[in-house]
Amino acid sequence: MTTEKQKMIAGEMYLPGDAELVRDRARSQTLQRQYNATIVSDTEDRKTILDQWLGSRGSGCALRTPFYTDYGYNVHLGADVFFNYGCVLLDVCDIRIGDKTQIGPLVQILTADHPRAPHQRDAGLEFGQPIEIGRNVWIGGGAIILPGVTVGDDAVIGAGAVVTRSVSAEVTVAGNPARPLVPRAQTA
């Protein structure tokens, strides 16, 4: 028998009011409150909380507070990932972020989605799509990454961009919706 949690993680329609998911969100909120009460010099406390909260993380990760997730266990960070203040990760599906990626303040990474059909929304159903962000990506402040997006290695997401489609490696995008920027001519 498939549980609502299994359906959620698989990206299928699920009921978010399921008792197990409610408990999981409460657990995440407890850890989030503990983490958000720390300061940068609370290094060991932060590591302990992150190890309980997140699905996985590499060494050298730095997450400035406040930092928010739905569940935490679907967040997987490579080594030396940096999050600036006020980031929100709605992780109903996996969020995977590669080594040395830097994420500006108030960035939202949103795997959560809602059905387009009104009868499904009326029934309380939701679903999600995973997000993958490559290695050495730079995401500017206030950017929003929408469900199902993949961002390639070494890409740049401009501040305030709304990323609705996948971004290839080494491409810079900006705007709403985010579109590739044409590189300026190099000057000597």
Output the pTM of the full model.
0.95
What pLDDT score was predicted for residue 188? 55
Q: Is 119 a catalytic residue?
A: no
Which residue stretches of 17-157 are H helix? 19-36, 43-53, 118-122
Confidence of residue 38 (pLDDT cuts 50, 70, 90): very high
Q: Which one, of 114, 95, 109, 169, lies nearest residue 143 by Cα?
A: 109
Please write the tens of the pLDDT for every residue from 87-99. Answer: 999 999 999 999 9
The share of the chain scoring above pLDDT 70, in percent, equals 97
The order of strands in the sheet holding 108-110 is 67-69, 87-90, 108-110, 144-145, 162-163
CA atoms within 13 A on the CB side of 29: 6
d(CA 15, CA 5): 9
What pLDDT score was predicted for residue 94? 98
The catalytic residue among 33, 47, 114, 121 is: 114
d(CA 83, CA 61): 8
